[in-house]
Amino acid sequence: MNTKPKILVVDDESRNLRLMEALLLPLGYDILLARDGVEALEKIQETPVDLILLDIMMPKMDGFEVARRLKADDDTKIIPIVMVTALQDVADRIKALESGADDFLTKPVDKIEVYARVASLLKVKAYNDHMIDYQKKLESEVAERTKELRKAFEKIKVSSLETIYRLTRASEYKDEDTGAHIQRMSNYSAVIAQAMGLNERTVESILYAAPMHDVGKIGIPDKILLKPGKLDPDEWVIMKQHTLMGGRILEGSHAGFIRLGETVAVTHHEKWDGTGYPKGLKGKNIPLVGRIVAIADVFDALTSKRPYKEPFSLEKSYEIIKEGRGTHFDPDVVDAFFASEEKLLAIKEKFRDEHESLLIRL
Ligand SMILES: [Fe+2]
């Protein structure tokens, strides 16, 4: 690789070009020559240079304009420009500085002065090049590390979600519900949350929290949980405890979606009119996630087969949900439910009881 610094000399007088070339070539630089501003810009396009010695008064395009253009372009703005001029006028020097010139040489040029200016500006350019390379390297290293971190985070997230799914499935094994029920109702909950305008992060948290709604059932005796007939009042008292038991299983977590899972477990049987359990909370005193999961849970129970019932038709299920608007369910959540009908049916179709997948997707 040729690492010789490249210097572009721009002057409309051949004599000046030759003079500068004769001065600089013996120092081991690569010299490029241009006779006017337009040619200078073309040369720089073709070959990136490290320094420009630029005459001011030239035909076609003067040195001020050349400097302005080079300094306005991200690719060329770091190239140092030395204005070489016979002008002693202060106003012109100011104009040159404003155009982006980094230094001056006065014609007729002094050999030592040329050497000094060129050497020091090339040093600055080399340092800047090094810094730019270093920054690029750092940026790509940071991007690479960020990618790795994101991958590792995704892996942890997927495995912790899978753990939750497997644990909730373990608790559901005692019940008539299936793994597909968990997936349907958590996806229903997320879709309804989305229709209610909740942000993406909250929707995702609800997707992960909803499966934990019935983990407390693990604490309900089999003779009650699996009783084929209707529960008597005493048995109901125990059955209702699955909400609080779920809350106790999940309480005190540092993970946001498990804390949300705790809320879901405790509040998914509360009703809008205050007749639900375990606390008989009313209206907006019921956390929104509980109001959302309530409708998702009921809709799935209605449209699914149970040992004691065939699935209700969609029409009948919709009717029951409409009837519950303002009594069992939050009216706004019911509206969001019906606004999401298409997506809900797609989820119902995707997670049918016979095929189960541990991966859930919106
Ligand atoms: Fe429940």
Q: pLDDT (tens digit, 9 = 90+) per residue, 219-253?
A: 899 888 888 788 999 999 999 999 999 999 999 99
pTM, to two decimals: 0.63
pLDDT of 358 higher than 50: no
What is the whole-number distance in angstroms between the Cα of residue 184 and the centre of ligand 1?
15
pLDDT of 209 higher than 60: yes
Q: CATH 1.10.3210.10 residue ranges in the chain?
A: 173-350
What is the whole-number distance in angstroms between the Cα of residue 157 and the centre of ligand 1?
25
What is the whole-number distance in angstroms between the Cα of residue 112 and the centre of ligand 1?
90
pLDDT of amino acid 335: 98
What is the whole-number distance in angstroms between the Cα of residue 215 and the centre of ligand 1?
8
> What's the fold here for domain 6-138?
Rossmann fold (3.40.50)
Encode pLDDT of 98-138 as tens digits. Answer: 999 999 898 888 999 999 999 999 999 999 999 999 999 99
Q: CATH 3.40.50.2300 residue ranges in the chain?
A: 6-138
What is the whole-number distance in angstroms between the Cα of residue 269 and the centre of ligand 1?
6
Encode pLDDT of 144-189 as tens digits. Answer: 999 999 999 888 888 888 888 777 777 776 665 566 888 899 999 9
pLDDT of 356 higher than 70: no
Contacts of 54 (CB under 8 A, 6+ apart): 10, 40, 63, 66, 67, 81, 82, 83, 84, 101
Mean pLDDT of 339-354: 89
What is the whole-number distance in angstroms between the Cα of residue 307 and the centre of ligand 1?
17
Tokens (6 digits) for 247 = 């809350």
What is the whole-number distance in angstroms between the Cα of residue 166 and the centre of ligand 1?
17
Q: Is the model more confident about 1 or about 108?
A: 108
What is the whole-number distance in angstroms between the Cα of residue 293 and the centre of ligand 1?
10
What is the whole-number distance in angstroms between the Cα of residue 221 and the centre of ligand 1?
15
Q: Let me know if domain 173-350 sits in CATH 1.10.3210.10.
A: yes
* Residue 137 CA to its chain's centroid (Å): 22
pLDDT of 87 higher than 70: no
